Structure 1
Amino acid sequence: MNNQVMRAELNDALGRHAAWKLRLREAAINGETDLPVDMIKRDDCCKFGKWLRSLPAEARNSDAAKEVHELHANFHIIVGGVAAQIAGGQTDGALAALDGQDYKDSTDRLAHAVTRWRMSLS
């Protein structure tokens, strides 16, 4: 896989994962309780997670990829927890979690790691 394609995938992942906060906030406000929580918690169900697993071994086993994979998995655990609160009707708790430090730290660490990896491919 060439570096240009990898940079494009990493750029796309940044946008898609940043959009989770808005989607979950809207779901909480709208009282959506039918969220696929089990899928949201998994890091291998989103496009980026599938792409990470499809990388050739050399790229998948790089330090940058391993860091992003770990942070991506943690991000989905955090997001899945928020989705579970929404699905359980715990709107106030879900909204507080979206504005909380754990959510912010998870998204920031993932975004920074993806950005570092993308820049290393230039």
Structure 2
Amino acid sequence: MSFEGLQERLTALQETTSQLQELIDRLHNLTFQPGSVPLGGPDDDNVGTELSAEISQILREEEDELELLQEEVEDIRSGRPGSETEHTKTRLKDGLERLQQELKSLQGFAQLAAQL
């Protein structure tokens, strides 16, 4: 795959990560009026449960896509030291590393938000 294609996929993952952050914030700030949520009711009807499930699904998909993208970037030949190819590959690897750290952080925030 071309560098442009890999960069587009990385950008798409970064955008999804931003959307994921918004969902986690929504889950964290989710409040209910007393009596608005039936006690002992089915969890399927619970907005918080649905939001948690959506966040978990997106996290899994992002982790899978990130892993595939990392493998594809690793498979690219770097070229000569100091070349544009080497520089571009390094930039992609740095972006992937930052995104991986952000996903780990978001995973922790999501777990905390789900417990509240």
TM range (shorter): 0.5 to 0.7
Q: Is the 8 A contact 1:34 1:87 kept in 2?
A: yes
Tell me whether 28-37 or 65-74 shows the greater mean CA deviation: 28-37
Amino acid at match of 1:57: D
| Stretch moving more, 73-82 or 58-67 | 58-67
TM-score, length basis structure 2: 0.53
Distance 2:61 2:93 in 1: 13
Residue type at the aligned position of 2:76: E
Instruction: Answer yes or no: is 1:67 the counterpart of 2:60.
Output: no
1:32-51 equivalences in 2 (<5 Å) = 32=49, 34-35=52-53, 40=59, 45-51=63-69
State the alpha-carbon separation in 2 of the partners of residues 14 and 20 from structure 1. 10
Structure 1 segment 74-113 matched on structure 2, within 5 A: 74-89=101-116
Structure exhibiting the larger radius of gyration computed from Cα positions: 2
1:54 to 1:43, Cα distance in 2 relative to 1, 3 A = farther
Amino acid at match of 2:109: V
Alignment partners' CA distance in 2, 1:51 and 1:31: 31
Deviation of 1:70 (Å): 2.1
Could you tell me which runs of 5 or more consecutive residues in structure 1 were left unpaired when the two chains were aligned.
90-122
Q: Give the distance between the partners of 2:13 and 2:77, measured in 1 at CA.
A: 17
Query: What is aligned with 2:75?
Result: 57
Residue 31 in structure 1 maps to residue 48 in structure 2: yes
Alignment: residue pair count? 87
Q: Taking every aligned residue pair, what percent have the same amino acid on both sides? A: 10
SS in 1 for 2:48: coil
Matching residue of 2:35: none
> Which structure 2 residues correspond to residues 9-20 of structure 1 after superposition, within 5 A?
9-20=9-20
For normalisation by structure 1, the TM-score amounts to 0.51
Contact 2:13 2:62 in 1 (8 A): no
Q: How well do the aligned residues superpose, as a CA RMSD in angstroms? A: 3.3
Residue ranges of structure 2 left out of the alignment (5+ in a row): 31-46, 79-85
For the residues of structure 1 that align with 2:4 and 2:77, how far apart are their CA atoms?
13
Query: Which runs of 4 or more aligned residues in structure 1 lie more than 4 Å from their structure 2 counterparts after TM superposition?
Result: 33-37
Partner Cα separation in structure 2 for residue 19 and residue 34 of structure 1: 14
